[in-house]
């Protein structure tokens, strides 16, 4: 019987379950199988992080920008859902397992690592016209999503250091190359 590789990597929830994303197309259709295959070929076991959006706002939510998630109760929610995972990470590390890092989702208001979606006026009741106007006013800016920020703080508080990666839906090949080189 083969031994276990004792290597683990964590993924943003929707990278394994695209149904958690806001209704629409599957932005990962070309990349999902390749990503999972690469990780499995390298003998990684995968832990799926809980999705902060679907566990707070459900399947029928609208698309949000980071400004809307930046409020205390939502930040507390992010910490609350991550804590059970954090304690598993600590236990694995304590017992000699290798946790290689977390793969986030670039551009997400929660899971963006270097890029997030911003829109200061994105609030209130919308009609088709105002929604289209607001869409034009959103922009991708450099910065971290709310979930990433809260996870980072908790990891630091518990003296856990993990590498962070992110999938950019527009350039998925970059992540594959990075993982191929580093894992
Ligand atoms: S919050 Fe994160 S896990 Fe959830 S759908 Fe958005 S990018 Fe995916």
pLDDT at 136 (0 to 100): 86
Question: At 37, is the secondary structure helix, strand, or coil?
Answer: helix
Check if the beta carbon of residue 20 is closer than 8 Å to that of residue 60: no
Task: Determine the residue of 24, 27, 51 to mutate for testing ligand 1's pocket, defined as the one with the most ligand atoms within 8 A of the Cβ atom.
Answer: 51
What per-residue confidence (pLDDT) applies to 134?
A: 79
Every domain of the chain and the residues it spans: 7-182
pLDDT at 104 (0 to 100):
98
Interval 125-159: pLDDT, tens:
878 888 788 788 888 899 999 999 999 999 999 99
31 alpha carbon to ligand 1 midpoint, in Å? 16
Under-50 pLDDT residues of the chain: none
**Closest ligand 1 atom, CA of 111?**
2
Predicted local confidence at residue 153, as pLDDT: 98
Residue 41 confidence (pLDDT) = 97
| Predicted structure pTM score | 0.95
H or E element: which one contains 10?
Answer: strand 7-11
Q: How far is the CA of 1 from the centre of ligand 1 (A)?
A: 37
């Amino acid at each position: 019987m083969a031994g276990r590789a004792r290597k683990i990597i964590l993924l943003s929830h929707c990278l394994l379950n695209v149904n958690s994303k806001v209704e629409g197309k599957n932005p990962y259709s070309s990349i999902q199988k390749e990503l999972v295959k690469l990780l499995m070929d390298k003998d990684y076991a995968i832990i799926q992080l809980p999705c902060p959006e679907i566990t707070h706002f459900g399947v029928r939510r609208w698309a949000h920008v980071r400004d809307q998630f930046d409020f205390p109760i939502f930040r507390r929610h992010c910490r609350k859902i991550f804590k059970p995972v954090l304690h598993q990470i600590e236990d694995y590390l304590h017992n000699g397992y290798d946790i290689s890092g977390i793969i986030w989702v670039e551009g997400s208001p929660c899971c963006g690592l270097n890029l997030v979606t911003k829109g200061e006026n994105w609030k209130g009741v919308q009609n088709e016209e105002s929604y289209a106007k607001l869409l034009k006013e959103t922009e991708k800016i450099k910065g971290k999503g709310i979930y990433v920020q809260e996870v980072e703080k908790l990891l630091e508080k518990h003296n856990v250091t993990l590498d962070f990666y992110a999938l950019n839906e527009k350039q998925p090949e970059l992540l594959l190359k990075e993982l191929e080189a580093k894992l």
